[in-house]
Amino acid sequence: MTAAGPRTTLAYGPHPSQVVDVYGPPAHGPAGLRVTLLHGGYWRQRYDRSYLVPLAQALAAEGVEVALAEYRRVGGGGGWPATAEDVVAAVGSRSAGGVGRHVLVGHSAGGHLALWAVSSPAGARLAVDHVVAVAPVADLGLARRLRLSDGAVDELLGGHDEAGADPVRLVPARVPVTVLHGSDDADVPAALSTGYAAAARAAGGRVELRVLPGADHFAPLTPGTAAYDVLREAVREDPGRSAG
């Protein structure tokens, strides 16, 4: 069977990167589940949403409405704050209230953007119920000191203040957060997630960190892996309800 393509593609701005691909059936009623996906690639133009298509298709095949968002990136009209502004606009376009739960899933740099969106004043009006951050660049300061991906953080910020862009300095998030990080991730060290989780908990945040033994940077995104099963379960969980 050929995997289904997007049901529709919606623009949320005039730039070619300001689009959202929508997969799966429309969410209906209070039991509906909507997922918005933010891809990684260290915020650079040469990496786009295409590598998350199999994940979007797999979730959609289970009846989930999935929005795979693109945004302006460094080298293609993005950088700070344009990239952040796009994330708020893209997530906002999919977060109208009244239709079940809205889960924001971000991978790597997309995990950074997801955490930032539900922690910063700029994203205060977003209707998001839960964030699942997969191998997120959750501590820009540490990523900067480690010179991850040859100084990608400096490229993103372009001289702007780090404090307003760094999730670990904006804790706690306004919504429950689940962080998934492979123990064998060679692209984003797990220390960024453990440090974020500790800081968020100290600030009173609702954070669950799950370190996935033997998993690399992409395993949770790959249908058929044990790490993907953890991601799938995390997306369907309702930590807000269990906490109440």
Whether the upstream peptide bond of residue 220 has omega within 30° of 0, thus cis, is: no
Count Cβ neighbours within 10 Å for each residue of 63-91 and write b for 16 or more, e otherwise: ebbbbbbbbbbbebbbbbebbbbbbbebb
Domain boundaries, the chain: 8-237
What pTM was computed for the model? 0.96
Element containing residue 37 per DSSP (H, E): strand 33-38
- What the block records as the tokens of 75 is 């080298």
Whether the upstream peptide bond of residue 121 has omega within 30° of 0, thus cis, is: no
Per-residue pLDDT of the chain (244 residues; tens, 9 = 90+): 456 889 999 999 999 999 999 999 988 766 789 999 999 999 999 999 999 999 999 999 999 999 999 999 999 999 999 999 999 999 998 866 557 899 999 999 999 999 999 999 999 999 999 999 999 999 999 999 999 999 999 999 999 999 999 999 999 999 999 999 999 999 999 999 999 999 999 999 999 999 999 999 999 999 999 999 999 999 999 987 755 4
Largest CA distance in the chain: 49
Q: Characterise 93 by phi-psi region: left (phi > 0), alpha (psi -120 to 50), beta (else).
A: alpha
> Apex CA 176: angle with CA 226 and CA 170, to 5°?
115
Domain 8-237, architecture per CATH = 3-Layer(aba) Sandwich (3.40)
> Apex CA 174: angle with CA 82 and CA 163, to 5°?
45
Instruction: Report the chain's terminal Cα–Cα distance, integer Å.
Output: 42
CA distance 39 to 56: 11
For β-strands 33-38 and 19-23, DSSP reports them as unpaired
Question: Residue 11: which of 23, 21, 1, 25 has the closest Cα?
Answer: 21
Predicted pLDDT of residue 98: 59
